[in-house]
Structure formats: structure tokens, C-alpha cells
Structure 1
């Protein structure tokens, strides 16, 4: 199975709600970027997203969270591909950090979001 991995750290500019909470749509936008990169790798073009088949939000995202996005092709039919992207929180900022740059590396990263896109290659 073809797949790619992308990492991104949420910043203060990604915050949408009080308390440093990031809008779920921001994570989904990054997941779409990941799916496009996978399309470029497999089909040599980014294609076009024709359908969002599934969206599941499991964990909230906060400024300072470091996410790992893993995109894989679940099914291919001709020039269409069903791409599933999963986002895992691999690093988070501690509740009461002793230093401004403090982080907690998570041993068992929680699954935050799952999205399935249907793409059509050009």
C-alpha cells in the first residue's frame, strides 16, 4: 500500500477558540494537503477531490500540539482513489509547563482525526 507521512506543529495562529483550541477544520485542511501529496506521488498529479466520504474527530487539538498525518490508499479503481488520512497527536504541551518550550512526547499517540477522501486523477 502506498502511503506518506507528514508532520505539523499547531501554532497560535491556528487557534480558533478560547483556551488555545484549534478548529477541527484546520486539521482537515492539513489532511487534504497530505492526500494531495500522496496523489502526486502515485499519479504524478494532485488530481481533484470529488468526495469526502468520512470525517471522525476524536481528540481536540491545541496550539503547540505536534501531529503526524499518515495517508494511505485504501482502494483504487481506474483513475479514482479512496485515500484515508489519520492524524495522531505525538507531542503536546504540558498543562503547567515549567518552561515556555516544554513538551511531552506521547508514548502511545492518540488518534485525533480520520478522514476519507475520494480523489480523481487528471
Structure 2
């Protein structure tokens, strides 16, 4: 999906800190983005079922562009299919603000957000934990 196609889904906006850096050059580990996808999935399940549920599996994960300390990332998610206990979801993460140069406090809002990662996966909410029947 394009950045503009996400209309009012659960959103997580976060600034990547120096503590998140894992590799040389200030590069952030892709696992950090997957953590954000998990946070968005949790919110989706709470809104849909009234329970945090459990992440069962990712069936696709793509890391498309680098993320560095100082970048601001927006993460979006959406439930695309609902089974008796399973919830199929898609996620995308966009870089929306980036430092002018590494270590600088000067930043620019990106004119065109950059897709940095996308994923799809399945979460499960046990039937006896479902307190809501979808919104």
C-alpha cells in the first residue's frame, strides 16, 4: 500500500534512538521493526477482540530501506481476514523524518515517506478470550 492509502488505522510513531543502533553506521536491526509490528498487532487485537492475543507466525517480512538513529518511523497495521480464532494482518513501516546528517540534531520531514519494511502474519485470540466481536 502507498503511504496515502492508510486511512485511520492503528498507528505507532516512534523516534529511533542511539540505543536502538545495532550495526556500524548507526544502522538499526530489522528485529526492532518487527517489535513495532508486534505492538501494532497487539493494539489491533485489543480493538477487535478485547484481548492481546498471541502472534502465531509471520508469513512474509521484507526490509526495504535502512533505518538509522534519529529517524522517525510510522508503523501501520490492518486486519485483513478474520477466522474463528485467527486474525490475518498486514503491516508497513515508513520513515517520515530523518536527520540531515548522522549525529546531527537538524532533521527534515521527508516530502515522500520511505517504505522501510513490510510484513504479513497471523495472530490468534483463543475463543474463550474474545470479549468483543470485532468493531
TM-score of the pair, normalised by structure 2: 0.83
Which runs of 5 or more structure 1 residues have no equivalent in the other structure?
A: none
1:95 aligns with 2:82: no
Contact 2:77–2:92 (CA under 8 A) maintained in structure 1:
yes
Over 3 Å counting, the alpha-carbon distance change for 1:65 and 1:2 in structure 2 is closer
Look up the match of 2:77: 71
Look up the match of 2:124: 120
Which runs of 5 or more structure 2 residues have no equivalent in the other structure?
A: 1-6, 127-135
Distance apart, 1:96 and its partner CA: 6.7
Partner of 2:112, secondary structure, is coil
Number of equivalent positions: 120
TM-score of the pair, normalised by structure 1: 0.91
Structure 2 counterpart of 1:5, from 3, 8, 11: 11
Over 3 Å counting, the alpha-carbon distance change for 1:77 and 1:63 in structure 2 is same
What is the CA deviation profile of residues 32-83 of structure 1, one whole-angstrom value per residue up to 9, with x for unaligned ones? 1111111111110011111111101100100000000011011111221111
Structure 2 counterpart of 1:44, from 23, 44, 50: 50
Partner of 2:113, secondary structure, is coil
Inter-partner Cα distance in structure 1 for 2:23 and 2:84: 42
Look up the match of 1:80: 86
C-alpha RMSD over aligned residues: 1.7
Contact 2:12–2:36 (CA under 8 A) maintained in structure 1:
no
Inter-partner Cα distance in structure 1 for 2:63 and 2:22: 16
